[in-house]
Amino acid sequence: MTDRYCVFGHPVGHSRSPRIHKAFAEQFGAEIAYEAIEAPLDGFAGAWRDFVNHGGKGGNVTVPFKEDAYRLADVLSPRARRAGAVNTLVLGKQGDTYGDTTDGIGLVRDLQAHAAPLEGARILVLGAGGAVRGVLEPLLAARPAVLMIANRTADKARQLADDFADLGETTGGGFDEIVGTFDLVVNGTSASLGGELPPLPDDLFADAALAYDMMYGAEPTVFLRWAAEHGARTVDGLGMLIEQAAESYFLWRNRRPETGPVRELLRSEI
84 three-class SS: coil
Q: What is the pLDDT of residue 164?
A: 96
Q: Which of 22, 57, 66, 93 is catalytic?
A: 66
Q: What is the pLDDT of residue 194?
A: 81
Strand ranges, E, within 102-218: 122-126, 146-151, 170-174, 182-187, 205-213
* DSSP designation for 145: S
Q: What is the pLDDT of residue 108?
A: 97
pLDDT per residue over 16-73, tens digit each? 999 999 999 999 999 999 999 999 999 999 999 999 999 999 999 998 999 999 999 9
* Cα 165–Cα 168–Cα 173 angle in degrees, nearest 5: 55
Quick one: which H or E segment has residue 37? strand 32-38
Specify whether the CB–CB gap between 99 and 69 falls below 8 A.
yes
Which structural domains are found in the chain, ordered by start?
Answer: 3-101+240-269 (3.40.50.10860), 104-236 (3.40.50.720)
Quick one: which H or E segment has residue 226? helix 222-229
Residues making up the annotated binding site for NADP(+) are: 127-131, 151-156, 214, 237
Does the pTM surpass 0.85? The reply is yes
* Cα 18–Cα 269–Cα 110 angle in degrees, nearest 5: 75
Residues making up the annotated binding site for shikimate are: 15-17, 62, 87, 103, 216, 244
Specify whether the CB–CB gap between 258 and 234 falls below 8 A.
no
Catalytic residue flag (residue 66)? yes
Alpha helices, H only, 101-202:
103-113, 130-141, 154-163
Residues of the chain with pLDDT under 50: none
